[in-house]
Amino acid sequence: MNGTTPPSYPQSASAAGPSLTDRTFSGFAWALVITLGGKGMSMAAQVILAAMLAPEQFGLVFWAASIGSFVMVLQHAGVREILVHRHRRFALYANAAFWFSLLLGIVTSVMLACAGVGASLFLGRPELASIMAIQAIGCLVASVSIVHQTRMQIDLRHRELSLHALASTVVVTVLSVVMAWFGAGVYALTVPAVFGTTLATVLSVRAAPLAIRSKLQQRRWRYLAGDSARLLGVGVLNNAAGNAANLVLGFGRDPAAVGIFGMASSLSLQTVNVLTLNLAGVVLPALTRLQGEPERILQAFCRACRALTMVGMPLCFLQAAIAGPVIRLLFKPEWEGAVVCVQLLSLGLGFGVLGGVTTSLLKATGRFGSLLGYTAWYSLTNLCFVGVGVYWGGAQSLATAVMIYYLLLNPIGTWWVARGVGGTWGDVRRIFCPPAFMSGVTFGGAYVLGSLLPAGAWADVARICLITSIGATAYWALARVMMPDTVAELGPRVIGVARRLARRRGSAESRQPIGPDVGA
């Protein structure tokens, strides 16, 4: 932003360097390791905050986030995806994209603050106005770094991006706990996010400096706005699908019910967020580099999906199996109602781990119109299931409806997306059926064994250890038989990344500044 000349980054690996597959897996592995640390810290903070704050206070924040999400989607409007898709002409569009993103951030912040005032008057909750005003500040700050982060994503600098996110998580976690301790209430869940966003923005701008000029280059905005309009529609529909449950449940019930379901949704999404968000961010630029080669794109997509379901689905089933003892041990009794919701949502999300990766295929191939139609179908179907769930009853019936939605819609959606590059139902069957069968048999059996133990805190600890150890061991044994190719492909890559981690730790004193080629 200061007019300095940006460093020259390599656009692809050299012939003597690591392959695109190696770099993609390495980037995902680095991001996964770092994100696991951040998620562990966030989970610990969530437990502490749940002991200090009431479900109603969480419900207000979840409610505000759901309302604001429809406005905040304007902040990005697909600028990141468009720049990744046109990565070879990034330098041409970078300056115009920066000012375009900043303008969207300003407009979004004003709209968000106004929406907060309207929501507080309509719903009779004055806190919503101040909560959403704080969100507006964070939205404006985040808009500054969108293009800088996209530059890093194009260059496959996933480890740096993950480290920035981890630093932000540390700040948010510490501030949230401190503010809750001093009685800040709902503001302990909102104000720290602004500081975390500010830190991530500063780090991104310093790590990927761009030659930003005072000239706005408005004529180039139209080349961004065309696809941005479609991606904006996609974002609105995605937010409608992702937040319909909290919104509909909130209008029909008190904030405590929203807090219970929101907490259950947050806990059940931990595994999916760790895997899907990291892999989607890595897969998109990797698939983009294979444009014009549909056979290679299909092979890369199916390999990534099989690896993700083989790892993600058993983790979601394990999450469902140990939800009861974990919540009883870590949360107050008033959160007991979240147990069944976490179990149901986790089982459904086992089939939903491909969400971000699936849409990455459409974005990488430039099928933005198809992405809009695909998202519209998903969102409308989700709204129907949510409406039926709320009509049936409270949070648990809503969780049941959402679980059925994931079980039915995700395999169908994966087939619809994959067929654009030659995918078939056979590919979808190989992606979902083996891990679903293995997860159900192994962790379902381990859950039955764990239920034979008596009640009590120590019995819950034993139950967690029993289910985890037996289920994981049995699953790995079955995976070597039913998915040998995926196991054989992942094994050496995991070992290679582990060795690189060990080498970096052993040579810390001579470590060079982080470069763009994370797989080198």
pLDDT digits 0-9 by tens, 157-182? 877 887 888 889 899 999 999 999 99
So what's the pLDDT on residue 492?
A: 61
Locate the DSSP E strands across 326-371: none
Q: Which residues contact 120 (CB under 8 A, 6 or more apart)?
A: 126, 127, 128, 129
pTM: 0.67
> What is the percent of the chain with per-residue pLDDT over 70, rounded to a whole number?
73
For range 25-33, the mean pLDDT: 57
pLDDT band at 287 (very low <50, low <70, confident <90, very high): low
Helix axis angle for 278-288 and 146-154, nearest 10°, is 70
pLDDT tens-digit map of 347-379: 998 898 887 677 777 776 666 667 777 777 777
Q: Per-domain residue ranges for the chain?
A: 20-502
Give the 3-state secondary structure of 401-420: HHHHHHHHHHHHHHHHHHHH
pLDDT exceeds cutoff 70 at 120: yes
Report the largest interatomic distance among the alpha carbons of the chain, rounded to a whole angstrom.
Answer: 70
Helical segments of 393-483, H only: 395-418, 425-451, 457-482
In this structure, are residues 10 and 517 in contact, taking their beta carbons and an 8 Å threshold? yes
So what's the pLDDT on residue 214?
A: 84
Give the residue among 286, 307, 282 at the shortest CA–CA distance from 160: 282
Q: Extract the tokens encoding 76.
A: 């990005």
Q: Extract the tokens encoding 25.
A: 């897996």
Q: Extract the tokens encoding 232.
A: 């904006």
Residue where the block lists tokens 């169908």: 412
Helix axis angle for 158-181 and 146-154, nearest 10°, is 140
Q: Per-residue DSSP letters for 280-294?
A: HHHHHHHHHTTTT-H
So what's the pLDDT on residue 54?
A: 82
Q: Extract the tokens encoding 259.
A: 């807090």
pLDDT tens-digit map of 202-232: 999 999 888 888 888 877 777 666 555 555 5
pLDDT band at 126 (very low <50, low <70, confident <90, very high): confident
Helix axis angle for 191-207 and 146-154, nearest 10°, is 50
Q: Extract the tokens encoding 250.
A: 């909130």
For range 27-54, the mean pLDDT: 72
- C-alpha to C-alpha distance for 232 and 226, rounded to whole angstroms: 10
- C-alpha to C-alpha distance for 217 and 226, rounded to whole angstroms: 16
For range 481-508, the mean pLDDT: 65
pLDDT exceeds cutoff 70 at 73: no
pLDDT exceeds cutoff 50 at 80: yes
Torsion of CA 108, 114, 116, 121, to 10 degrees: -160
So what's the pLDDT on residue 286?
A: 55
So what's the pLDDT on residue 385?
A: 86
- C-alpha to C-alpha distance for 39 and 94, rounded to whole angstroms: 32
**Whole-number Cα distances in Å, 72 to 108, 110, 236:** 6, 10, 9
Q: What is the per-residue burial (b if ≥16 Cβ within 10 Å, else e) of 104-137?
A: bbeebbebbbebbeebbeeeebebbbbbbbbbbb
pLDDT exceeds cutoff 60 at 394: yes
Q: Which residues contact 492 (CB under 8 A, 6 or more apart)?
A: none
So what's the pLDDT on residue 322?
A: 94
- C-alpha to C-alpha distance for 320 and 148, rounded to whole angstroms: 38
In this structure, are residues 447 and 433 in contact, taking their beta carbons and an 8 Å threshold? no
pLDDT exceeds cutoff 50 at 4: no
Alpha carbon 324 to its chain centroid, in Å, reads 24
